[in-house]
Amino acid sequence: MLRCKMEVRVFQSFDETASPSQGPGRLQALRDVLQSEALDGFIVPRADAYQGEYVAPCDDRLAWLTGFTGSAGFCVALAERAGVFVDSRYRVQVKAQVAADFTPLDWPEIGLAEWITESLPNGGRVGFDPWLHTLDGWRTLRNKLNAVELIRCSNLIDQIWTDQPEPPVGPVFAQPLELAGEPHGAKITRLAATLGRAQTAVITQPDAIAWLLNIRGSDIPRNPVPHGFALLHSDATVTLFIAPAKLTGLGDHLGSQVTVAAIDAFPAAIAALQGPVAVDPASVPVAIVDMLETARVAIIEAQDPCQLPKARKNEAEIAGTRTAHLRDGAAMVRFLAWLDRQPPGSLTEIDVVCALEGERRATNALRDISFETISGTGPHGAIVHYRVTKRSNARIEDGHLLLVDSGGQYVDGTTDITRTVAIGTVGDEERTNFTRVLRGMIAVSRARWPRGLAGRDLDALARVPLWEAGLDYGHGTGHGVGSYLCVHEGPQRLARTGVVPFEPGMILSNEPGFYREGAYGIRIENLIAVREAAAIEGGTVPGMLSFETLTYVPIDRRLIVADMLTGPETDWLNAYHMTCRDMLTPLVDGAARNWLMAATEPL
């Protein structure tokens, strides 16, 4: 942790975690290994054996090799070319982080298989670590490659990363029953009954194991999850494979339904299973499937049995999330009130991060931030997942938009909120586009829809006001969020790629945006929960669904062009601000309360 100018200790570091200058030498070392292994290339994903979204420092091989520190992407290193594949969230960032020896590539527009085939037109042998690729991902690549052969091998990066950190051994602790809402023994019994013909289900993702066993951990920064593997058996028992040192403070929490084994015992246990064994092709590593096939264990492909139950939050989890958001909302109000009192040009992006985390810490309930705070002023706001460092730290000037995307990890809930704030006098273009983004956020907030619809069916609601002006944003409109778990959670998504129908209890973000590269960025984000919609007299569609807003923090009225809003949009905004006032006024005082009253005046 770093002590900031404002004398606030923060979780976030502002050091450079990777450097473009180191990439060329490391790439050459990898190429030397390729030659000795008789390989023409090697694939380096940002992934670990547990197939969660976030990785521990020891598994951050993509950043170590290339310098790119985004949360998603992969590199293919060949003898003459090295491509770094990133999606639309990271296309500005990657250009600044990788050396000229690496070529940034727009994924998925440029397909991995197509690029490899083009780069190796006469065929070749490309290596991959089977622990770092899911069955689905490997199949998709294999089926599209013709002359090129995919070769399983040990991880070549580990051979050249001489100071690679050790695997984490963070302590595991119990999540209180009053917050989990269901005993883990009941979860095990309930899910075991859904296995059908399968005798066992393999569970690898850390948040699934944490949810199933009502435990939390500290192996991944910002994500309270432990690393391990689990086998859910049809007799309503679980075998947990984990480093024993992590469990010393857990007491007898796991109980008689859970057997603990060392993680090194996992391969032998897989080979000894009596099938059929269920694996989720979207998350199971190829290496585990290889073990089952070698042992001639019958395999059933099915979704991880924890995924949908975990996504459907129970009443205790929703109640805890509401409480966490009120606490977090009050911290945000104190921060925004402080920010508005600072003269333009007097602060830097790091000052903003420190001040905001300081307000969250002052609640005496913050366990961690839920991700690295995005504090981007002016052009940095257009970098969707910008991370400020000591080198990039910019002064917040008059006329800038300041985009602050942040969140907290509290024992009763995970928060994620974005507010875009006017610094001094902001231009008409920025205000117009802010209002378009706001209209899209309101449209999602007000939505009602028939059961059975998914994120791809609702995503366009957020984009129509931008589309009308020929504008758009490249990321999804929303992601699932955990209950004191990962801030990004599946399987639900509010996006064009979201195919899982929404169900009551699911929590999502609602975060449309617009980004003018080199100039400014806009994003407005609240968290929302799926709920049963109130019946409408005379309606013909039974059992419709709607969203409950969980985040209550004022939206910057100075950036709103009021004449662009329709009557219902204005009514929604004014009602939202009155609710912000009612909920948060008892939680703040002094200058923060005065700011809140002014910020929630009707439009």
| pLDDT (0 to 100) of residue 1 | 36
Does 464 lie in the same domain as 340?
yes
| pLDDT (0 to 100) of residue 602 | 97
Q: Do residues 433 and 401 touch, judged by C-beta distance below 8 A? A: no
Radius of gyration of the chain (CA): 24
| pLDDT (0 to 100) of residue 4 | 62
User: Which among 261, 293, 309 is the end of a domain?
Assistant: 309
Decide if pLDDT at 518 tops 90: yes
User: Which among 93, 126, 160 is the end of a domain?
Assistant: 160
Domain total in the chain: 3
Does 323 lie in the same domain as 425?
yes
Does 323 lie in the same domain as 304?
no
Decide if pLDDT at 6 tops 70: no
Q: How far apart are CA 563 and CA 48, in angstroms?
A: 50
Is 257 inside a domain boundary? yes
Which is more confidently placed, 42 or 275? 42
Give the Å distances, CA to CA, from 117 to 32, 129, 153, 421. Answer: 22, 20, 20, 46
For residue 105, list its beta bridge partners.
Answer: 85
Q: What is the mean pLDDT of the chain?
A: 95
Classify each residue of 348-381 as buried b or exposed e, where b means 16 or more C-beta atoms within 10 Å of its C-beta: bbbbbbbbbbbbbbebebbebbbbbbbbbbbbbb
Is 353 inside a domain boundary? yes
Q: How far apart are CA 560 and CA 433, in angstroms?
A: 9
Does 294 lie in the same domain as 147?
no
Does 185 lie in the same domain as 205?
yes
Q: How far apart are CA 12 and CA 172, in angstroms?
A: 22
Q: Give per-residue pLDDT as tens, 251-302.
A: 999 999 999 999 999 999 999 999 899 999 999 999 999 999 999 999 999 9
Look at residues 111, 37, 30, 98 and name the one whose alpha carbon lies nearest to residue 68: 98
Q: How far apart are CA 503 and CA 305, in angstroms?
A: 16
Q: Give per-residue pLDDT as tens, 145-179.
A: 988 999 999 999 999 999 999 999 999 999 999 99
Q: How far apart are CA 14 and CA 311, in angstroms?
A: 33
Does 415 lie in the same domain as 499?
yes
| Most distant pair of Cα atoms in the chain: their distance | 74
Going by pLDDT thresholds of 50, 70 and 90, the confidence category of residue 96 is confident
What share of the chain in percent tops pLDDT 90? 91
| pLDDT (0 to 100) of residue 8 | 53
| pLDDT (0 to 100) of residue 373 | 97
SS3 assignment, position 220: strand
Average pLDDT over residues 199-216: 98
Does 272 lie in the same domain as 243?
yes
SS3 assignment, position 3: strand
Q: Give per-residue pLDDT as tens, 556-593.
A: 999 999 999 999 999 999 999 999 999 999 999 999 99
pTM reported for the whole predicted model: 0.94
Average pLDDT over residues 359-379: 97
Q: How far apart are CA 277 and CA 201, in angstroms?
A: 6
Does 391 lie in the same domain as 281?
no
Decide if pLDDT at 111 tops 70: yes
Does 482 lie in the same domain as 412?
yes
Average pLDDT over residues 317-331: 98
Structural domain harbouring 136: 2-160
User: Which among 309, 324, 355 is the end of a domain?
Assistant: 309
CATH code at position 295? 3.40.350.10
CATH code at position 520? 3.90.230.10
Average pLDDT over residues 455-460: 98
Least confident of 1-15, 351-365, 578-592: 1-15
Does 591 lie in the same domain as 486?
yes
Is 167 inside a domain boundary? no
Q: Give per-residue pLDDT as tens, 393-439.
A: 999 999 999 999 999 999 999 999 999 999 999 999 999 999 999 99
Q: Which residues contact 470 (CB under 8 A, 6 or more apart)?
A: none
Q: Give per-residue pLDDT as tens, 10-33.
A: 899 898 776 788 999 999 999 999
What share of the chain in percent tops pLDDT 70? 98
Alpha helix stretches (DSSP H) within 152-257: 156-160, 177-180, 184-192, 206-213
Does 21 lie in the same domain as 106?
yes
Decide if pLDDT at 3 tops 80: no
| pLDDT (0 to 100) of residue 17 | 72
Is 102 inside a domain boundary? yes
Alpha helix stretches (DSSP H) within 19-134: 23-36, 61-66, 91-97, 112-119
Is 165 inside a domain boundary? no
Is 213 inside a domain boundary? yes
Is 168 inside a domain boundary? no
Give the Å distances, CA to CA, from 553 to 126, 129, 396, 579. Answer: 50, 45, 22, 9
Is 570 inside a domain boundary? yes
Decide if pLDDT at 69 tops 90: no
Decide if pLDDT at 2 tops 70: no
Does 447 lie in the same domain as 316?
yes
Q: Which residues contact 289 (CB under 8 A, 6 or more apart)?
A: 135, 279, 299
Q: How far apart are CA 331 and CA 288, in angstroms?
A: 45
